[in-house]
């Protein structure tokens, strides 16, 4: 069974849909209460309603650029249809958000063909506290459940807790962990991990990296060194650079995405902690603004609550 087939099978279950709906509850409640206030006393969508809607979207952490696109689309639709009642606003907003996300060049995970490389090397980046280690553990679990041999590399060697956490996750989900003492060279751990993955016939190697957003040049040099040493073993490694962001930090997540995409070739995103925040609109802004696939979203504490991100399912759930 391929990785996508496995995730698709899991996400079609009522439990997965329920977890998504529950995970977006806080965002949904905040979003719709703001929209209700935005149209109080209005029967049609006029300039005042559009101004209020713009404020709703910005304060829901959709982001200024994406907000302006959405409001402009609705304004054009209202001008074309002449009379649009405020009762239709939710449906109109849902359509325009889905259309906007469908138009950008960020593909949903169903277009990701897993298995072309073996071992498939994933380098995970992100600042401390965003749920990076938890995401690695949950992803390792999903991959193992799909029948893959997985190895984890504890290359965040600057924080003792990071190595311990990776090792705990390895024990919990039953996958190998390659680690060295705290303070070791992260590139050395990454090298050992991919070399071990090749020798062991592993399908996937997931490499953790230091969660420090220090100056951009330092970050770039460190990540470049890790990539360079892995390429001595596997020339096209890493195949995926997964940036983990905490959705609950709203606009700060967008700033982190800006910093990391300038420092390295991020080609996949994971948004965590959606269940604990009313700022889920940041997923829409990041997906639109960076044109990088949001592959995973964290919608709960359970080991299976790391879900594939599907734009349509996400927006459907948000407007349910």
215 annotated among ligand-binding-site residues: no
129 annotated among ligand-binding-site residues: yes
147 annotated among ligand-binding-site residues: no
From residue 142, give the alpha-carbon distance in Å to each of 9, 22, 48, 203: 12, 21, 47, 13
274 annotated among ligand-binding-site residues: yes
- Whether residue 134 contacts residue 206, with contact meaning beta carbons closer than 8 Å, is answered with no
Cα of 87 vs its chain's centroid, Å:
32
133 annotated among ligand-binding-site residues: yes
183 annotated among ligand-binding-site residues: no
Q: Helices in the chain by DSSP H: which ranges?
A: 3-11, 14-23, 25-38, 47-59, 64-81, 89-103, 132-145, 160-173, 186-200, 216-230, 251-263, 282-290, 311-318
126 annotated among ligand-binding-site residues: yes
137 annotated among ligand-binding-site residues: no
310 annotated among ligand-binding-site residues: no
157 annotated among ligand-binding-site residues: no
132 annotated among ligand-binding-site residues: yes
Neighbours of 106 (CB within 10 A): 20
Calpha distance 271→283 (Å, rounded):
7
128 annotated among ligand-binding-site residues: yes
127 annotated among ligand-binding-site residues: yes
- Whether residue 259 contacts residue 215, with contact meaning beta carbons closer than 8 Å, is answered with no
272 annotated among ligand-binding-site residues: yes
273 annotated among ligand-binding-site residues: yes
- Whether residue 265 contacts residue 271, with contact meaning beta carbons closer than 8 Å, is answered with no
Q: Which residues are annotated as a binding site for GTP?
A: 126-133, 208-212, 272-275
Q: Which residues are annotated as a binding site?
A: 126-133, 208-212, 272-275
């Amino acid at each position: 069974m391929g990785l996508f087939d496995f995730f698709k099978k899991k996400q079609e279950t009522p439990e997965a849909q329920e977890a998504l709906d529950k995970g977006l509850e806080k965002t949904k409640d905040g979003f719709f209460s703001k929209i209700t206030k935005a149209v109080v006393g209005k029967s049609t969508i006029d300039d005042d309603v559009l101004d209020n809607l713009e404020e709703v979207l910005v304060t829901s952490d959709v982001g200024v650029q994406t907000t302006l696109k959405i409001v402009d689309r609705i304004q054009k639709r209202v001008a074309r249809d002449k009379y649009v009642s405020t009762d239709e606003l939710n449906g109109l907003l849902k359509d325009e958000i889905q259309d906007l996300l469908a138009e950008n060049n960020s593909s949903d995970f169903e277009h990701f063909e897993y298995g072309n490389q073996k071992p498939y090397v994933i380098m995970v980046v992100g600042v401390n506290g965003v749920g990076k280690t938890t995401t690695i553990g949950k992803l390792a679990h999903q991959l193992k459940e799909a029948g893959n041999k997985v190895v984890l590399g504890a290359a965040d060697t600057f924080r003792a807790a990071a190595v311990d956490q990776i090792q705990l996750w390895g024990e919990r989900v039953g996958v190998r962990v390659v680690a060295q003492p705290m303070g070791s060279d992260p590139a050395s751990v990454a090298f050992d991990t991919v070399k071990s993955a090749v020798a062991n016939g592993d399908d996937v190697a997931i490499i953790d990296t230091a969660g420090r957003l220090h100056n951009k040049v330092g970050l770039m040099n460190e990540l470049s060194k890790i990539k360079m040493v892995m390429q001595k073993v596997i020339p096209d490694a890493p195949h995926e650079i997964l940036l983990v962001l905490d959705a609950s930090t709203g606009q700060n997540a967008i700033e982190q995405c800006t910093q990391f995409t300038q420092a390295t070739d991020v080609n996949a995103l994971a948004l965590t902690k959606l269940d604990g925040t009313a700022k889920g609109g940041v997923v829409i802004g990041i997906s639109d603004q960076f044109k990088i696939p949001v592959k995973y979203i964290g919608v709960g504490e359970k080991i299976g609550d790391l879900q594939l991100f599907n734009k349509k399912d996400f927006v459907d759930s948000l407007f349910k």
